[in-house]
């Protein structure tokens, strides 16, 4: 029995690796404290507190629903820019803002960039994105008319910002990563259409694009943590599951039925580049009743679930950014 126990412990130690810890109160990195990441490559870098802070601000009444062209979305953009700057994530263009016209209004995406550390692989680009706009106001309920857009899509923005903080801290991605926050999504994917066209003009070497859309509440009775829109179009979801040795991403039939692949900011990149471009979501049509309603409030989000999901996803993105060859491809 003792020998078996010793061998078990030894094998567990061999199959693990060191991780960085941080204080959930301060979000500061403590490089002196290390412990072991289990073989399925989960970690505890992103905290529920930081996700809650981002969602609570972006979905606050002060931002008036973040409609494109409004004073509220300007506040949201400044918040995102300040976060990226505080992480030492550089602007991709001359500034963080990617300007365009949205039905005659001045509009802008916010784009940060972390260059890869490999002389050749850094020429390949991974895009991680979410939309930071919402619809502004909705049908009045109990005197409330502000459609705060916590799940849609302040949760996605919070995830992208947390990932930007991670990769800016680690600096171990061989491929370059663009962190892209879009406006104009609720007006017909206008921001992502503009950015996809601009990057296509620049002839960037896009490897993959991943979009976060409504990840604030867990799915009901599923064997995976989140679903992938356009699941069958590429091998990205199975590869990411392989990278973390965990059934992280699955296929939701309802997503295909409602053609969600074509209805979020991943689609313009797929259309422009014909490269693996998908959205990750946990909205399963049964777990959230406040889509485009005034009840989409920050206090309805499950931040512990969100933190666990993002912490499970990060190692998959990290592996994706470091493979020697492009393992993720469009299916035949």
pLDDT of 42: 63
User: When comparing pLDDT for 120 and 10, which is higher?
Assistant: 120
Alpha-carbon dihedral sign for residues 72, 147, 301, 283 = negative
Mean per-residue pLDDT over the chain, rounded: 90
3-class SS shares of the chain: helix, strand, coil, % to 5:
40, 25, 35
| Region 315-326 average pLDDT | 98
Residue 159 has pLDDT above 60, yes or no: yes
| Cα first-last separation, the chain | 51
**And the tokens for 88?**
């030492």
**And the tokens for 146?**
């502000």
- Rounded to 10 degrees, the C-alpha dihedral 175/181/182/183 comes to -160
For the domain bounded by 18-320, which CATH number is listed?
3.40.630.10
pTM here is 0.88
Instruction: Report d(CA 21, CA 29) in Å as an integer.
Output: 6
| Region 163-169 average pLDDT | 98
Confidence of residue 165 (pLDDT cuts 50, 70, 90): very high
| Region 314-320 average pLDDT | 97
| Region 225-249 average pLDDT | 97
| Region 258-271 average pLDDT | 97
| Cβ atoms of 247 and 224 closer than 8 Å | yes
Q: Where are the domains of the chain?
A: 18-320
pLDDT of 9: 37
């Amino acid at each position: 029995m003792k020998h078996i126990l010793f061998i078990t412990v030894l094998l567990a130690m061999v199959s693990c690796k060191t991780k960085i810890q941080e204080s959930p109160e301060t979000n500061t990195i403590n490089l002196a404290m290390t412990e072991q990441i289990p073989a399925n490559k989960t970690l505890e870098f992103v905290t529920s507190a930081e996700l809650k802070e981002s969602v609570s601000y972006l979905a606050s009444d002060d931002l008036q629903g973040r409609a494109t062209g409004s004073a509220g979305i300007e506040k949201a953009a400044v918040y995102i820019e300040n976060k990226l700057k505080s992480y030492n994530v550089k602007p991709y263009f001359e500034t963080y803002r990617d300007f365009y016209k949205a039905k005659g209004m001045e509009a802008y995406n916010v784009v940060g960039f972390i260059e890869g550390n490999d002389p050749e692989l850094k020429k390949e680009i991974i895009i991680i994105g979410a939309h930071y706009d919402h619809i502004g106001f909705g049908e009045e309920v109990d005197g409330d008319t502000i459609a705060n857009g916590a799940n849609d899509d302040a949760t996605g923005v919070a995830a992208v910002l947390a990932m930007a903080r991670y990769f800016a801290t680690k600096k171990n991605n061989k491929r370059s990563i663009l962190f892209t926050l879009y406006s104009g999504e609720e007006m017909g994917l206008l921001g992502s259409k503009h950015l996809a066209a601009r990057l296509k003009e620049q002839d960037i070497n896009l490897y993959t694009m991943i979009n976060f859309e409504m990840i604030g509440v867990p799915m009901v009775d599923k064997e995976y943590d989140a679903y992938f829109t356009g699941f069958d179009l590429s091998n990205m979801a199975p590869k990411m599951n392989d990278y973390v040795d965990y059934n992280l991403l699955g296929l939701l039939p309802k997503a295909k039925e409602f053609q969600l692949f074509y209805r979020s900011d991943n689609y313009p990149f797929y259309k422009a580049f014909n490269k693996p471009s998908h959205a990750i979501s946990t909205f399963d049509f049964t777990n959230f009743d406040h889509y485009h309603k005034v009840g989409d409030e920050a206090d309805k989000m499950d931040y512990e679930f969100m933190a666990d999901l993002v912490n499970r996803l990060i190692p998959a993105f990290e592996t994706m950014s470091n493979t020697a060859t492009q393992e993720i491809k469009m299916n035949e």
